[in-house]
Structure 1
Amino acid sequence: MVGERVAKRGKTRPKWRSPLWARLCAIVGCVLMVLGGGALVTTQVLVARYAGAVETKDLFGEGESGSKAEVSDIKGPLNILLVGIDPRDTNTAPLSDSIIVVHIPKGLGQAQIFSIPRDLRVEIPAFSKTGFQGGTAKINAAMSYGSSVGNGKHDVAQGFELLAKTVSKLTGIKEFDAGAILNFNGFKDIVEAMDGVTMKIDQVVKSEHLQPNGKARPRRPECADNSCEHPYIGPQKTYKKGTYHLEAWEALDYVRQRYGLPRSDYDRQRHQQQFIKAMAEQALSKNVVTNPIKLDQILRAAGDALIFDGNGHNIVDWGLALRGVAGGDMTLVKLPGKSLFVPGTKQYLGEGLEDSAGDFFASVKDDTISTFLIDHPEFLQEL
């Protein structure tokens, strides 16, 4: 039976049928650490095989960065912007389904990760490439406002550029040292190459989208136009509290759920970060980094999932630079937020951050997050 506890691992693997990407872009951090975790990373074979397998684009609008510097020039502190999207064609404006910042302190031996709510209302800067005049909107729309390239076509890399400017304006991070876009289709292959993931489930979660057997729940006929908040009917896959080994389809389904949870998207963000940490720890286990066949499967799958901008360095360079970061060195951070409504009504506008988030962003700029978290333990994400 799928979803049983670790001692009774299921053997079936239902097909993943959800059309939505599971908001898991930060897995690229896991990929970078896998690249730095085994003896294979020192060989020219790895560089030749994987550096070219990952698609690279200019995500920050800086043009060609010139000749590539040495790997040793990747020095902390570093900030990496990771964005997950639904795979869409070029005729559809992209929306950032997940926005995560990974901060690497000066010593390059830790990673501190925080998520930005996709419904956070922010000031999106003007963007001359699309004629966008700037304004207040949910942050996940920034990519859409920045993606148009004319003739009804859209470019996710150009959209990422405006999103990066928006996140910079919000956080005060002047510029990002690397960035990546991940899509669901390739990401699913990464999880399957890992043979699923063992992780702790911290609350009962019912799937809005899938039945217990992994098949899609039927949609209400009157909800064909996506106008319903809860368009599905029938039995629901339920994830109970405890530590379980999840198949790829289960893990991706679990971390995308927010309906029915006490803190909605904030609970979902916590589950995503817990999943990231579990995947990183599993990726760095001996049965992965010392298994050439499995390592090859994971890294090849990562190549199909990523668009990467390493500021002149390829993804293998970054893996080598971050080889000192292990799964246990990852700190998960939660930002305090609240729902916003039109004054005097129940009309939902989006999410807003508490004033204390500004103090946290200042610690990111100053590379003093560890000290900040000692004084503000309420920012530590639950494991």
Structure 2
Amino acid sequence: MLLAGLAVVGVRLLAHRYDRTVNREQLLAPDARQARTELDTGLNYLVVGSDRRPGAQGSDQRSDTILIVHVPPGLRQAYLISVPRDLLVAIPPDGAGYGGGQDKINAAYEHGGGGEGGTRLLSATLTRLTGIRFDGAVLVDFAGFRQVIDLLGGIRMCVDTEVRSIHTGAHFPVGCQQMDGAKALDYARQRYDLPNGDYDRQRHQQQMLRAMLDRAAQAHLRSDPVQLDRVLRAVGGSLTVDTNGVPLDDLVFALRSLPADALHGVQLPSYPQTIDGISYVVLDQGGGGLFDAVRTDRLPDWSQANPRWVNRL
């Protein structure tokens, strides 16, 4: 009992200590925000990944990764729902100059000016599309994630289709291999010359997040306080968060028992379509019941009934 109590205190102290290293902003639009977040119920979070480049202005920024993370009641599982960045949606006005219109969903981040404003407009767009209100949001700088992967000693990724990077020219042969941060993120960004295009890219990004959690568990960070300090600082420095008023240490404590093997990857029921010479992804009618399953905490049942849209991680 004493050891268990000390472990609980340790988790809270670590979360409290690094709370101040995380940037805090209002990332959710008012209409996209859950009125009140209760940690003993199902939770929905918006995760936006942006590979910010030096000198990039708001008009140059697009969200490279968009995830809806659903944690069912009990907090023992998590579903990573990838939103295709070419998904055709209706983007609402942002009240700051953009008048709204039909566009690819990752353009919402650009029209909102990138950063916090872009994430707010993206959250409003997703809530209009899905009816889901969020319990929080995270804006991730992938440059920081590269550092985290390197501090963990790299991660193990399994390549199922040979591909060459259009960004660096790196070759990724078929098979499981150890990757450093730059290589893992490069691989997870590829979509050309893959049989399922952007759907494969979404799956690889989900696999990368799973591999990071697996590696963190293998590294026994709690027994190496110096390494743990470095990793937590790198994580904190790469995140901007909106916890909807929930203290960060309470949130970390509530999710402390979520194992890496409880992550499930989900893709939006959708299909590619060319409209007026432009490639889009078009949502199946009603999202194939996915959004309703998220809103009513029935995603585990939906996943079993729709294995086509579930990724093995």
Q: TM-score, normalised by structure 1?
A: 0.73
Distance across 1 between alignment mates of 2:15 and 2:272: 46
List aligned pairs for 1:316-335, cutoff 5 A: 316-335=249-268
1:186, CA displacement in angstroms? 1.6
Distance across 1 between alignment mates of 2:219 and 2:155: 15
Render the CA deviation track for 1:297-320: whole Å, top value 9, x for unaligned.
Answer: 111001110101111124332211
One-letter amino acid of the counterpart of residue 196, structure 1: G
1:342, CA displacement in angstroms? 2.8
1:83 is paired with a residue whose SS is strand
1:176 aligns with 2:134: yes
Instruction: Give me the identity figure in percent.
Output: 36
Render the CA deviation track for 1:76-121: whole Å, top value 9, x for unaligned.
Answer: 2000100011325574323211100110001111101110011111
Distance across 1 between alignment mates of 2:88 and 2:11: 46
Equivalent residue, structure 2, for 1:49: 17
Equivalent residue, structure 2, for 1:165: 124
Kept after mapping to 2: 8 A contact 1:40/1:46: no
1:209 aligns with 2:138: no
One-letter amino acid of the counterpart of residue 21, structure 2: A
> Which of 27, 33, 39 is the aligned partner of 1:59?
27
Equivalent residue, structure 2, for 1:121: 88
Render the CA deviation track for 1:147-179: whole Å, top value 9, x for unaligned.
Answer: 3xxxxxxx6212211100111112220x21010
Paired residues, what number?
302
Equivalent residue, structure 2, for 1:92: 58
1:140, CA displacement in angstroms? 0.6
1:48, CA displacement in angstroms? 4.0
1:243 aligns with 2:143: no
Distance across 2 between alignment mates of 1:327 and 1:108: 13
One-letter amino acid of the counterpart of residue 190, structure 2: Q
Distance across 2 between alignment mates of 1:96 and 1:289: 33
Kept after mapping to 1: 8 A contact 2:76/2:257: yes
1:58 is paired with a residue whose SS is coil
Render the CA deviation track for 1:274-306: whole Å, top value 9, x for unaligned.
Answer: 111111122123523432222211110011101
1:136 is paired with a residue whose SS is strand
1:111 aligns with 2:41: no
Name which one, 1 or 2, has greater alpha-carbon Rg. 1
> Which of 72, 75, 94 is the aligned partner of 2:40?
75
Kept after mapping to 2: 8 A contact 1:112/1:332: yes
Render the CA deviation track for 1:20-50: whole Å, top value 9, x for unaligned.
Answer: xxxxxxxxxxxxxxxxxx9376366424420
Equivalent residue, structure 1, for 2:3: none
1:242, CA displacement in angstroms? 1.7
Q: TM-score, normalised by structure 2?
A: 0.89
1:298 aligns with 2:256: no
Equivalent residue, structure 2, for 1:140: 106
More helix by share: 2
One-letter amino acid of the counterpart of residue 26, structure 2: D
1:324 is paired with a residue whose SS is coil
Distance across 1 between alignment mates of 2:175 and 2:287: 31
One-letter amino acid of the counterpart of residue 41, structure 2: G
Kept after mapping to 1: 8 A contact 2:21/2:236: yes
1:96 is paired with a residue whose SS is coil
List aligned pairs for 1:8-23, cutoff 5 A: none
Equivalent residue, structure 1, for 2:309: 379
